[in-house]
Structure 1
Amino acid sequence: MNFNFLSPVSDLVLAHNELLSAQALGRKLKIHSEKNGIPNLDDVNIAIIGVLENRNDVNYIGETFGLDEIRKAFYSLFPGTWNTTMADLGDIHKGETVEDTYFAVKTAINLLVKKNIIPIILGGSQDLTYANYRAYDNLIPMVNVVNVDSKFDLGDSSKPIKNNSFVGKIILNQPYNLFNYATVGYQTYFNSQEEIDLMNQLYFESYRLGEVSHNISLVEPVLRDANIVSVDLTSVKSSEVSLKQKFSPNGLNGKEICAIARYAGISNKVSSFGIYEYKPSKDDEITAMLVAQMLWYFVEGVNYRVKDDDFTNDNNYQKFIALVDDDELIFYKSTKTGRWWIEIPFITEVNNKLKRHTLLPCTHEDYLDACNNKVPERWYKAFRKNCV
C-alpha cells in the first residue's frame, strides 16, 4: 500500500518507548519508524494516523504543533485482554495547500477502511472531518456522522471551509452521501438560533450537554448507527485539560468523554474515529493523557464488538410491537446483548435513499415510550428523512 505521504514516528517517542515495560501498549504496536519504514498491515485491525494540519482553524496565526506527548502517554498505558493488532503509521504533515492535506487524509482513510482497518485520526483542526467524510465517497452509499462537540459547526457554507463550518460543506457539496448528522454534547449558548432551527429542519439529531451528562447511555444508539465519529476536544470542560486547551467551564468530563469513546468502539458500524482541536501547551501532560485514555477506551470497545445486528435468524432476537395512535411500531431486542432496534418502514411511493426496511438503533426507554403512546424522536426524524 502506498503511504508515501506519511512521515515516521519521531525518534524521541521511539527512544521513550524503549524505556517502557515490555507489557506496555507501545511495545505491542507496529510502529512506522525511520529505520524500518511502514509496517506490514496484513493482520492490523486499528491504525493511528496523526494529521498536523490546522490552517483552516478560524484562529490560526501560523502556529505549529506535534503529537509526541499523546503518543508517549498512549504508549505508556497497558492494554486490556485484547485480540486486536494495532499500528501507528506516523503523521501526515501540512501539504503545499490545505487541499493537498485533505487529499492525503482522504486517500489514507479510504485505503485503510477498504482493508477493514479502523483509522484513528489525531488531528489539528476539525475541518479534517470533511476529508474523512469524503474518503467514503466510493465506499458506502449513505454515511452517518456523529460529532462530539459543543457547537454544530454548520457555519456559512457559502464561505471557504473552516473548522467551525465544515458540516455545512458536508451537507451541500456533491456527491451527497450524508444520511444522518448528530451532535453530542452541544451547548445552546454557543449556537445561533438559526443553526438550531436548521438542525431541526434537516431532521438531524442533537443532544444537549445536560441530557448527555444526566444519562450517558442515551448516546449509545446514536454511536451504534455512526460510520464516522469526530470528537472536538473543546467539548471537554476546561478543568479537565491543559492551559491552551481550555475553552469552556462547562463541558463533558473525562469519564463522560471516555464512555463516549467506548460506545464508538463497540459500535459495529464505526469505521473511523477522529480526535481534533488538540493544542499542546507547556503543561501538556493532562490533555495528552486524556486523549490517550480516550484512545484506550475506543480500542477497548472495538475488542468487545458483538455481531448482534443479524436479524435473519429468529433465535437472535425478540420482536415487540407497540401501537402508537394508528401506527404499528416494530421493535427488536438482541438476545445476545439486550440492545434494541426499531424498524423504519419503507414507503413504496417515495424514492427513498435506503430502499429497504431500515433498522434504527434505539433504547429500551424508546420501547416503553411507544407503549405509552409516545413516538420516539429518533424514529420520527429518521422516518421524515426517509420521506425526503
Structure 2
Amino acid sequence: MNFNFLSPVSDLVLAHNELLSPHALGRKLKIHSAQQGIPDLEGVAIAIIGVLENRNDINYIGEEFQLNEIRKSFYSLFPGSWNTLIADLGDINRGETVEDTYFALKESISILVGKKIIPVVIGGSQDLTYANYRAYDTLIPMVNIVNVDAQFNLGDSTKPIKNNSFVGKIILDEPYNLFNYATIGYQTYFNSQEEKDLMDSLYFESYRLGEISSDITLAEPVLRDANIVSIDLNAVKGSELSLHQRYSPNGLDGKEICAIARYAGISNKVSSFGIYEYKPSKDDEMTSMLMAQMIWYFVEGVNFRVTDDDFSDENSYQKFITLVDDEELIFYKSNKTGRWWIEIPFLAEVNNKLKRHTLLPCMHQDYLDACNNKVPERWYKAFQKNCV
C-alpha cells in the first residue's frame, strides 16, 4: 500500500507515550514510527493523519508548525468501552508546492476510504478540505460536505484557492460531484450578503450559531447525511482556546463542538473527518486538549454506529404519510434508534441527480411541521436541487 507521503510520529511524542498509563489511548493505538514503519491496517477503523500545510492561509507569513501537542493530549486520554481500532499514520509534510500536498492527502484519503477506514485529518489551513473532496472523485458519484465554521468560505472562485474560498472551487471545478454543502454555526457578520444569497440560490443549508447553540440536535440530521465533515477551529469561541488561536468572542463552546464531533461519528455516512486551522502557541494546552477531545468524541460516535437506515425490512421502521399543499410527504422512523427520514421523490421527467427515491435524514419536528401543513426546509432544498 502506497503511503510514501507519510512521515512517522516524532520520537518526542513516542517517548512521552511510554510514560503514560498502560490503559491510556496512546498505548492502544497502532502508530507509524521511524523504527516500526507504517503499521498493519488489518482491522483498523479510524486512521489519524496530520497535514503540515498552511501556505494557502490568507494570513500565512512563512511560519511552520507541528502537531506534537495534539498527539500528546490525545494519547493521554482514556478510551471508552470501544471495540474500534485506531491507527496514527503520522504526518504529510508540506510538498514542493501546495498542489503536491493536496495530491498526497487526496491519495491517502482515497486509499483509506476505499479500505473502509475513516481518515481523521488534523491540519493547517482548511483549504485542505478541497483535497479531501477530490479524493471522492473515484469513490462515490455525489458528495455531501458539512463545514462547521463561522464563515461559508465561498470566496471568489476565479482567484487562486485560499482557506477562505475553497468551497467556491469545490462548486465550480470539474468533475462536479457536490450534491449538498451545509454550514453549521456560521456567524452572520463574518459573511457578505452576496455569499448568503449564493448559498440560498444553490439551495445549500446554513445554520446560524444562535440556532445551533439553542438546540444542538439541529445539527444531527445534517451530519447524518454528510460524507465529509470539516471543522474550522475559528468556529469555536475564543475563550475556549489558546491565545494564538482566538478568532471571535462568539462561537461554539467546547461542549457543543464535542457534541457535533460525536454526531459526525454516529453518522453511518461520514467517511472522513477533519479539524483545521490549528495554530500552535506557547500556552497551547487548551487548543490541543480540545482537539484531542473532539477526536475522542468522534471515535466514540463511530463506535456506537447503528445500522438503522435499511428500509427493506418492514418490521424495522414505521412509515407516516402526510399531505402538505397537495404534496404527499412520506416519513420513516427507525424502530431501533427513533431517528427520522423523509423521502425525496424521483422526478422521471427531470435529469435527476439521485436516480432513485432518496431518504433524507430529518427530525421528528419536521414530521410535526408537515402535519401542520408546513413544508420542512431540508426537504424543500433537496427537492429543488434535484430539479436544477
TM bin (shorter chain): over 0.9
1 CA distance for matches of 2:43 and 2:318?
36
**Which residue identity lines up with residue 386 of structure 1 in the other structure?**
N
User: Structure 2: which 5+ runs fail to align?
Assistant: none
Counterpart of 2:44 in 1: which secondary structure?
coil
Q: TM-score, normalised by structure 1?
A: 1.00
Show the counterpart of 1:309: 309
Counterpart of 1:244 in 2: which secondary structure?
helix
2 CA distance for matches of 1:365 and 1:117?
34
1 CA distance for matches of 2:242 and 2:225?
32
In the TM superposition, residue 127 of structure 1 has moved relative to its aligned partner by 0.1
In the TM superposition, residue 253 of structure 1 has moved relative to its aligned partner by 0.2
**Which residue identity lines up with residue 306 of structure 2 in the other structure?**
V
- Deviations for 1:236-274, whole angstroms, at most 9, x for unmatched residues? 000000000000000000000000000000000000000
Show the counterpart of 2:226: 226
User: Structure 1: which 5+ runs fail to align?
Assistant: none
**Which residue identity lines up with residue 66 of structure 1 in the other structure?**
Q
Show the counterpart of 2:161: 161
1:273 maps onto 2:273 in alignment: yes
Alignment of 1:158-197 (within 5 A): 158-197=158-197
- Runs of 4+ deviating beyond 3 Å: none
1 CA distance for matches of 2:154 and 2:339?
31
**Which residue identity lines up with residue 51 of structure 2 in the other structure?**
V
In the TM superposition, residue 210 of structure 1 has moved relative to its aligned partner by 0.1
Show the counterpart of 1:320: 320
**Which residue identity lines up with residue 182 of structure 1 in the other structure?**
A
Show the counterpart of 1:61: 61
1:101 maps onto 2:101 in alignment: yes
Show the counterpart of 2:294: 294
Q: Percent identity?
A: 81
- Deviations for 1:127-167, whole angstroms, at most 9, x for unmatched residues? 00000000000100000000000000000000000000000
**Which residue identity lines up with residue 302 of structure 2 in the other structure?**
V
Alignment of 1:24-63 (within 5 A): 24-63=24-63
Show the counterpart of 1:247: 247
In the TM superposition, residue 23 of structure 1 has moved relative to its aligned partner by 0.2
2 CA distance for matches of 1:160 and 1:352?
32
In the TM superposition, residue 43 of structure 1 has moved relative to its aligned partner by 1.1
**Which residue identity lines up with residue 316 of structure 2 in the other structure?**
N
1 CA distance for matches of 2:90 and 2:97?
20
Show the counterpart of 2:330: 330
In the TM superposition, residue 171 of structure 1 has moved relative to its aligned partner by 0.1
In the TM superposition, residue 42 of structure 1 has moved relative to its aligned partner by 1.3
Counterpart of 1:206 in 2: which secondary structure?
strand
Q: TM-score, normalised by structure 2?
A: 1.00
- Deviations for 1:188-243, whole angstroms, at most 9, x for unmatched residues? 00000000000000000000000000000001000000000000000000000000
**Which residue identity lines up with residue 364 of structure 1 in the other structure?**
H
Q: CA RMSD in A?
A: 0.3
1:357 maps onto 2:357 in alignment: yes
Counterpart of 2:374 in 1: which secondary structure?
coil
**Which residue identity lines up with residue 352 of structure 2 in the other structure?**
N
1 CA distance for matches of 2:124 and 2:286?
17
In the TM superposition, residue 306 of structure 1 has moved relative to its aligned partner by 0.1
1 CA distance for matches of 2:262 and 2:211?
18
